[in-house]
């Protein structure tokens, strides 16, 4: 059976309303059309602000230029983010000085620390500072937490500004753990200029840097460029490196519970 474009659109939007996320291959099979046709349909629907493209499929429309409030964003892809954070925590060794930026994935790193000693944590995330302090109180780690000075952003539970950047400019880190708003065509993006500058500075001042990105960030763009993927030491994700990004495969690590 051949479906007209308007019929495909109606089917796609109905499935999206029911499932919340749809996959190109599944929709193509249901409608008995080529995946390329569905990809073009998704592109057109995205232009109409009826859905948002993600790797391999689509989700309900979100405005990529406006970052969701921190608490709401914390619930999005929560299981994937915690799996990635668990993997990130394994990268932390005794004696490390680490930088942790603001993000709803990096905030979970402290939850998975166990028996690590003499760690210095520097962060501009108020929420992450609380979690690292809790790890010290529960004796899952020893060390100290430095919450950077600057201007508070209540919506993101973060601290940014010229003072924050100046303080970071005088610090050196063994490892930095960086979040992002999207990755597209080899470029890592974030939503907010001030947050992006902090992440960029942490990366620049670190010997090794880890990019934490769940599947929803793949092929996503937002306001400001943080860096190129090539500048990341390792990408921690919940899905395998996309076929079209095989040049970065050696940097790509799939977390436990992720999709190979």
Q: Do 9 and 104 sit in the same domain of this protein?
A: no
pLDDT at 24 over 80: yes
Q: Report pLDDT for 98.
A: 98
Copy the structure tokens of residue 43. 């592109």
CA of residue 241 relative to chain centroid, distance? 14
214 burial via Cβ count (<10 Å: 0-12, 13-18, 19+): buried
CA 30, CA 54: separation in Å to the nearest integer? Answer: 19
Q: Do 127 and 242 sit in the same domain of this protein?
A: yes
The number of domains in the chain is: 2
Q: Which residue, among 10, 86, 113, 22, has the nearest Cα to 238 in the 3D structure?
A: 86
Q: Report pLDDT for 192.
A: 82
Q: Do 100 and 50 sit in the same domain of this protein?
A: no
Residue predicted with more confidence, 208 or 74: 208
Q: Does pTM surpass 0.75?
A: no
Report CA dihedral (144, 145, 148, 151) to the nearest 10 degrees.
-140
Contact partners, residue 78, CB within 8 Å, separation at least 6: none
Copy the structure tokens of residue 55. 């790797």
Q: Do 20 and 100 sit in the same domain of this protein?
A: no
Q: Which string of b and e fits 229-254 if b means at least 16 CB within 10 Å?
A: beebebbbbbbebbeebeeeeebbbb
Q: Do 162 and 138 sit in the same domain of this protein?
A: yes
Handedness of CA 194, 210, 246, 38 (dihedral sign): negative
The residue with tokens 């299981």 is: 79
CA 232, CA 87: separation in Å to the nearest integer? Answer: 16
Q: Do 129 and 219 sit in the same domain of this protein?
A: yes
Copy the structure tokens of residue 114. 């166990």
The reply to whether 64 falls in a domain is no
Q: Do 154 and 44 sit in the same domain of this protein?
A: no
pLDDT at 67 over 90: no
Q: What is the pLDDT of residues 174-210, one digit of tens each?
A: 999 999 989 988 999 988 888 899 999 999 999 999 9
Best mean pLDDT range from 19-28, 50-59, 162-171: 162-171
Domain boundary among 35, 59, 83: 59
Crossing angle (nearest 10°) for helices 24-31 and 5-19:
130
CATH number for the domain including 15?
1.10.10.10
CA 103, CA 193: separation in Å to the nearest integer? Answer: 14
State mean pLDDT over 56-60: 83
Q: Do 109 and 210 sit in the same domain of this protein?
A: yes
Confidence label for 90 from pLDDT (cuts 50, 70 and 90): very high
CATH number for the domain including 89?
3.40.50.1360
pLDDT at 260 over 70: no
Reduced to 3 states (helix: H, G, I; strand: E, B; else coil), residue 254 is strand
The reply to whether 240 falls in a domain is yes
State mean pLDDT over 87-107: 96
Confidence label for 259 from pLDDT (cuts 50, 70 and 90): low
Domain that holds residue 255: 70-259
Q: Report pLDDT for 206.
A: 98
pLDDT, mean over the chain: 90
Among 25-34, 83-92, 215-224, which is the least confidently predicted range?
Answer: 215-224
Contact partners, residue 4, CB within 8 Å, separation at least 6: none
């Amino acid at each position: 059976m051949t479906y007209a474009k308007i019929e495909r659109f109606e089917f796609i939007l109905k499935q999206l309303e029911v499932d919340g996320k749809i996959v190109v291959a599944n929709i193509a099979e249901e409608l008995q059309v080529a995946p390329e046709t569905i990809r073009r349909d998704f592109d057109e629907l995205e232009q109409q602000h009826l859905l948002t493209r993600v790797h391999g499929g689509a989700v309900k429309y979100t405005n990529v230029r406006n970052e969701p409030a921190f608490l709401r964003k914390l619930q999005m892809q929560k299981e994937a983010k915690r799996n990635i954070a668990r993997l990130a925590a394994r990268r932390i060794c005794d004696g490390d000085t680490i930088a942790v930026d603001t993000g709803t994935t990096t905030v979970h790193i402290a939850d998975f620390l166990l028996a690590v000693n003499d760690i210095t944590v520097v962060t501009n995330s108020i929420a992450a500072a609380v979690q690292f302090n809790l790890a010290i109180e529960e004796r899952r780690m020893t060390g100290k937490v430095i919450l950077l000075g600057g201007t508070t952003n209540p919506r993101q539970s973060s601290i940014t500004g010229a003072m924050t950047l100046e303080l970071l400019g005088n610090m050196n880190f063994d490892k930095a753990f960086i979040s992002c708003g999207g990755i597209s065509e080899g470029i890592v993006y974030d939503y907010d200029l001030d947050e992006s500058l902090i992440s960029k500075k942490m990366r620049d001042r670190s010997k090794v840097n880890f990019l934490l990105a769940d599947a929803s960030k793949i092929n996503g763009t937002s306001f400001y460029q943080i860096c190129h993927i090539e500048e990341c030491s390792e990408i921690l994700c919940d899905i395998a490196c996309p076929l079209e990004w095989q040049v970065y495969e050696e940097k790509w690590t799939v977390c436990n519970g992720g999709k190979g």
